[in-house]
Amino acid sequence: MEKFIVFGKYCDDAIYKREPYREKHLNRLKDLKDSKILVTLGPTKCTKYLFGIFNANDEDELRELIQKDIYWQKGIWISFQIYPWIQAF
């Protein structure tokens, strides 16, 4: 598996709009973490952007995984970019 960095953007007022989907989202992230796919994921302090590190076989697999998230499907995440990452340490 390769490592990937994900940078993305939240919709306006995401803190409020995410509430109905938050539990489902967090449960899914826990499952991804338990299966060693998710390394870390979270918002920036200003809550406009998201940052994550994932393990995946390739970029297409990760893109599909992100697009299955309830936050993407409900428009809480409005964009994302994926970058292959080489962990030096």
Residue (of 34, 62, 63, 40) closest to 53 by Cα position: 40
Q: What is the pLDDT, as a whole number, of residue 63?
A: 98
pLDDT band at 78 (very low <50, low <70, confident <90, very high): very high
pTM of the model: 0.93
Specify burial of residue 41 (Cβ count, 10 A radius: 0-12, 13-18, 19+): middle
pLDDT tens for each residue of 1-60: 999 999 999 999 999 999 999 999 999 999 999 999 999 999 999 999 999 999 999 999
For the chain, the structural domain boundaries read: 2-85
Q: What is the pLDDT, as a whole number, of residue 43?
A: 96
Q: Which fold has domain 2-85?
A: Alpha-Beta Plaits (3.30.70)
